[in-house]
Amino acid sequence: MKNSGVFRSRGVSWLMHKLCFTLGSMLVTASAFGGNKAFDDGDYTVKATLSSPMNTIAGLTEWAQSINHVYGITSIVLVLVFFAVSIPLIYAIYKFRVSEDEDLINKKPPKQVHGNVVLEFAWTIVPVILLLFIAIPTWEGIFSRPVKPPEGALKIKVIGHQWWWEFQYPELGITTANEVHLPENTPVFFELSSADVIHSFWIPQFGGKKDVLPGADAVNQMFFTTPKLANPEKAGGEYYQGQCVELCGLSHALMRFEAVLHSKQEFDSWAKVHNQPPVIASELEKKGELLFAQCQVCHTISGTPSEDLEKQMLAMDPPAPKQGPNLTSFGDRRTLGAGTRKNTYENFAKWVREPQSIKQGATMTAFNLSDDDMQAIAAYLRFSTAKNY
């Protein structure tokens, strides 16, 4: 029988399969470079560049760098294995291909061999050596991590909610949401817990991720020393992207936050002014204050009646924590809806009127407010410490 070229194409398709698999893996790796590049147009766009905010391989903390060290070694081994397998493979496919006029039916099978001591030893020992090569720096990385947070680390309680983040600074008496402010070059200690389902806390450029679990006795810890400011002259903080990395429901992908790095001085001023209640200077703000009454069952603003309500709710048995993010100094936040949109008046109005149009499944009630009322609430809420820290 004349060969119909089946064998050859099978070899090729097998090779294609392997190549696609490799390319796929490389794409997954490349996606680590991607991320949400700014919020300039208010939308989520993915861009793969080295300076992307979700880039994992430009680690800024010692912890992130030790992870990257292992990542680098693993990549070298992987590339070596890739070539060690694919070069002989391509050679074999070419060399032993079927020629057009070969009679495959009557062709004798090649000589069958079984067991080659040298080969079997070689392909057992070589992977063991390669794995050791990866394992030793991995162990080193894992065991060089301190087991306890350093003395005097800044403590921050992180509470995951479907689909936003709460940050409490017990020593500073501050509660905020979706933006975690940090002093540069300082040990920080996160206590992670969840109000509902399992989430996972991750600031890619600052290091690894940790699960955020529900249940009072399931508090995870994360600690590291924050990096130094890249540009100490610039005021207003440097923003790094964070993201929930545990599939936690419908809007899991929209459960983001920003870590804002400040000089120590700037951080202290932020902490001082953050809790200042809104100044009610105009009629509009006054009206906004009244209208906010319908929001305060879920939202608290420090130094206002909504805070007293929160205390009462927490004193109940069982305690009833508020469902929505703390909105103290909300005007200072860069984003809205946990990093979903840029914090502009248009996005704010859309959010209040139809939160689910921005974030599917968001548990906030929709409020069909008139333009006048919306502007009044915005004036009250967007009272801003105006970055004057």
Binding site for ligand HEC (CB under 6 A): 163-164, 177-178, 294-295, 297-299, 323-325, 330, 333, 336-338, 348, 351-352, 359, 362-365, 367, 377
Nearer to ligand HEC, 70 or 362 (CB): 362
Does position 254 interact with Cu ion (CB under 5 A)? The reply is: no
Instruction: Write the DSSP string, 170-221.
Output: TTTTEEEESEEEEETT-EEEEEEEESSS-EEEE-GGG--EEEE-BSTT--EE
Nearer to ligand HEC, 166 or 184 (CB): 166
Does position 192 interact with Cu ion (CB under 5 A)? The reply is: no
Nearer to ligand HEC, 59 or 325 (CB): 325
Rounded to whole angstroms, the Cα distance separating 219 from 159 reads 10
Rounded to whole angstroms, the Cα distance separating 90 from 16 reads 11
Residue type, 303: G
Compute the least distance from the CB of residue 186 to Cu ion, in Å.
26
Compute the least distance from the CB of residue 310 to ligand HEC, in Å.
13
- Nearest 5 degrees, angle CA 226-CA 229-CA 233? 155
Region binding Cu ion by CB under 5 A among candidate stretches 117-125, 250-258, 276-284, 321-329: 250-258
Q: Is the separation of the CB atoms in 352 and 367 below 8 Å?
A: yes
Placement of tokens 């147009």 in the chain: 41
Binding partner of 221, given ligand HEC, Cu ion, none, CB within 5-8 angstroms per partner class: none
Compute the least distance from the CB of residue 247 to Cu ion, in Å.
8
Measured from the Cβ of residue 164, the count of other Cβ atoms closer than 10 Å reads 25
Binding partner of 206, given Cu ion, ligand HEC, none, CB within 5-8 angstroms per partner class: none
- Answer for which of 161, 199, 299, 350 binds Cu ion (CB under 5 A) is 199
* Assigned token pair, 165: 């983040």
Q: Are strands 187-194 and 164-169 parallel, antiparallel or unpaired?
A: unpaired
Region binding Cu ion by CB under 5 A among candidate stretches 121-129, 144-152, 236-244, 317-325: 236-244
Q: Give 361's DSSP letter.
A: T
Binding partner of 323, given ligand HEC, Cu ion, none, CB within 5-8 angstroms per partner class: ligand HEC
Binding partner of 337, given Cu ion, ligand HEC, none, CB within 5-8 angstroms per partner class: ligand HEC
Does position 362 interact with Cu ion (CB under 5 A)? The reply is: no
Instruction: Write the DSSP string, 270-329.
Output: HHHHHTPPPP--SHHHHHHHHHGGGTTTT---TTSHHHHHHHHHHHSSS----SS---TT
Does position 213 interact with Cu ion (CB under 5 A)? The reply is: no
User: What is the total count of residues that contact Cu ion (CB under 5 A)?
Assistant: 4
Binding partner of 359, given Cu ion, ligand HEC, none, CB within 5-8 angstroms per partner class: ligand HEC
The SS3 of residue 32 is coil
Binding partner of 352, given Cu ion, ligand HEC, none, CB within 5-8 angstroms per partner class: ligand HEC
Rounded to whole angstroms, the Cα distance separating 33 from 36 reads 10
Nearer to ligand HEC, 223 or 252 (CB): 252
Does position 248 interact with Cu ion (CB under 5 A)? The reply is: yes
Residues of this chain that interact with Cu ion (CB under 5 A) are 199, 244, 248, 255
